[in-house]
Amino acid sequence: MVTLTALEAELLDVAGSVLDPELPVLTLKELGVLRAVHLRGTDAVEVELTPTYTGCPAVEAMSLDIERALHQHGMREVTVRTVLAPAWSTDDITDEGRRKLREFGIAPPRVRRESGPVTLALGPTRTHVGETAGTRQPTTAHATEATEATEATEATEATGKAAPIQCPHCGCADTELLSRFSSTACKALRRCLACREPFDHFKEL
């Protein structure tokens, strides 16, 4: 475990308090993308930042906001370096970050039980809940196999390997997938079948 100096810990807190440009309800610390801060002299610092996915358009804005915050804190020279390994995962989002997402109306990502890549295949999009609460069925019978292959998280709900995606508005677990992509690539659009409200779900990665 790397031991931080008092100043590095202070600078880490400053950089970590910067808000995410796409999800301004979360700080970079709560999102889990801020990896490290290293002093490179009395007034120079290097920051390590891991994007949520390769090519994330928010990285440039994050970097500029970190530079601005650390300059205002007295650092003359600030370098933000993108680090791709280890890769970021939604498991890196803190408990406080998950709470804030839920309060903001976004279903937080579920904690994955196994590490490693998330399987993705293309297929039919929309699914709905059948007559039995918690039982997911595709909109057409022939889509069952493709839907389960495509929506790994949907399939694990039915087998009990993962918790269902709960509506952040009313807490109901009976929800349907409307679109795999929402306002950003990291979120899917869902709708609650109890309160009928649509909501974003931060997809597991």
Query: Is 167 domain-assigned?
Result: yes
The amino acid occupying position 6 is A
What gap in Å lies between CA 12 and CA 38, rounded to an integer?
9
Residues 174, 113 share a domain: yes
Q: Looking at residue 34, what is its pLDDT?
A: 97
Burial environment of residue 190 by CB neighbours within 10 A (0 to 12, 13 to 18, 19 or more)? buried
Residue-by-residue pLDDT tens, the chain, 205 positions: 668 899 999 999 999 999 999 999 999 999 999 999 999 988 999 999 999 988 888 999 999 999 999 999 999 999 999 999 999 999 999 999 999 999 999 999 998 766 556 565 566 655 554 333 343 443 333 333 233 333 444 444 444 456 899 999 999 999 999 999 998 888 999 999 999 999 999 999 8
Residues 76, 124 share a domain: no
Query: Is 141 domain-assigned?
Result: yes
The amino acid occupying position 51 is P
Nearest CA among 181, 189, 202, 186 for reference residue 59 = 186
How many independent structural domains does the chain possess?
2
Q: 78: domain CATH number?
A: 3.30.300.130
Query: Is 98 domain-assigned?
Result: no
Q: Looking at residue 71, what is its pLDDT?
A: 97
**91: which DSSP letter?**
G
pTM: 0.76
Where do the DSSP E strands lie in 18-157? 34-39, 44-49, 77-82, 106-107, 127-129, 136-138
Q: Looking at residue 128, what is its pLDDT?
A: 52
Q: Which two tokens stand for residue 136?
A: 């997911």
Q: Which domain holds residue 79?
A: 6-88
Exposure string of 152-172, with b = 16+ CB inside 10 Å and e = fewer, is bbbbbbeeeebebbbbbbeeb
Query: Is 76 domain-assigned?
Result: yes
Q: Looking at residue 147, what is its pLDDT?
A: 36
Residues 124, 74 share a domain: no
**94: which DSSP letter?**
-
Q: Are strands 77-82 and 44-49 parallel, antiparallel or unpaired?
A: parallel
**Where a domain ends, among 88, 123, 138?**
88
Compute CA 35 distance to the chain's CA centroid, rounded to the nearest angstrom.
Answer: 16
Residues 185, 120 share a domain: yes
